[in-house]
A and B are shown apart, each in its own frame.
Chain A
Amino acid sequence: MSILQSFKNLVRSRSIHVAYVDVGSCNGCDIEVLACLAPRYDIEQYGIYVHNNPREADILLVIGAYTPGWEDKLQGLWEKIPDPKVAIAIGNCPISGCVFNRPHSYVNPPVSKHIPIAAQVPGCPPRPTEILQAVLSLAPEVFKDYERRKK
């Protein structure tokens, strides 16, 4: 492994930028993601920064059951994120539609139909620790030796 690659690995392991996008949730998962910021869970001690800015994000947390308003937007948002990138579905909503996936509703789950989802955290809502765990365990898988694997 080249020195440059190991240097990149080192840097990347401590600087993961996270953006979250809410595509039609009940807000329950939303606030659990926010609670990860709290000093109790302290997401920043692992080098994860929640900026909510897709242009500089590495990880996209997708929350919610995909409503029609996002049809042209979610794809665009996903393309704005620079490589390497990965999306995690938080909560039951993006996985199955949760309670909203019934006749007559407007939602169109699962989100994996629309953008590639790498990991799922089920729960209605999942606990902040579970969200944290998912981000932490997924990050090295994706970002370690990214350039070498790409070749």
Chain B
Amino acid sequence: MSRYLYEKDLVAMKYAILISTRHDRLVREIAGDLGISHQNLRRYMIERFDMILMENLPARYEAGKAETGNDAPLADALGRVLYTRYIPLLERERMNAILGQVREMIENGTPQEEAVSRGKRLIGEELRP
């Protein structure tokens, strides 16, 4: 584990970024999509992202939304590209595992919509502390 010896605590400044209009709207949208509270998502982002990535989240989200349609339809519905590459919330392996679970659910007879929304819940579970 590497630690910076003279690094200040950046949480307050990162929080200041996340409360601007665009960011707030984005965080609430993603949190609603994944079914977790926005405070939880904020905390997760503050822990994992560096500041410039945080500033750029709205633009990346926009680009990620425009990119949908190039992946497999099910993966797209789950937001695989969006949540692993554009907004790097999850590792790709974890995402693929969740995708496998969703596929399984569909094979076992769950309707697609419900399976996808349950898959999103699972992504949300990953982000909880």
Q: Which residues of A contact B (CB under 8 A)?
A: 68-69, 72, 106
Q: Which residues of B contact A69 (CB under 8 A)?
A: 8, 13
Q: Considering the chains assembled together, what is the distance between the CA atoms of A72 and B7 in angstroms?
A: 11
Q: Which residues of A contact B8 (CB under 8 A)?
A: 69, 72
Determine whether B16 belongs to the interface, using a CB cutoff of 8 Å to chain A. Answer: yes
Q: How many residues of B contact A (CB 8 A)?
A: 4
Smallest CB–CB gap between A24 and chain B, Å? 12
Nearest to B16 among chain A residues (CB) is: A106
Q: Which residues of A contact B12 (CB under 8 A)?
A: 68
Q: Considering the chains assembled together, what is the distance between the CA atoms of A69 and B13 in angstroms?
A: 8
Q: Considering the chains assembled together, what is the distance between the CA atoms of A69 and B12 in angstroms?
A: 10
Interface string of B1-35 (1 = CB under 8 A from A): 00000001000110010000000000000000000
Smallest CB–CB gap between A6 and chain B, Å? 43
Smallest CB–CB gap between A32 and chain B, Å? 26
Q: Which residues of B contact A106 (CB under 8 A)?
A: 16
Closest 3 CB pairs of A and B: A72-B8, A69-B13, A106-B16
Q: Considering the chains assembled together, what is the distance between the CA atoms of A106 and B16 in angstroms?
A: 10
Q: Considering the chains assembled together, what is the distance between the CA atoms of A124 and B41 in angstroms?
A: 41
Q: Considering the chains assembled together, what is the distance between the CA atoms of A106 and B15 in angstroms?
A: 13
Q: Considering the chains assembled together, what is the distance between the CA atoms of A106 and B20 in angstroms?
A: 14
Nearest to B8 among chain A residues (CB) is: A72
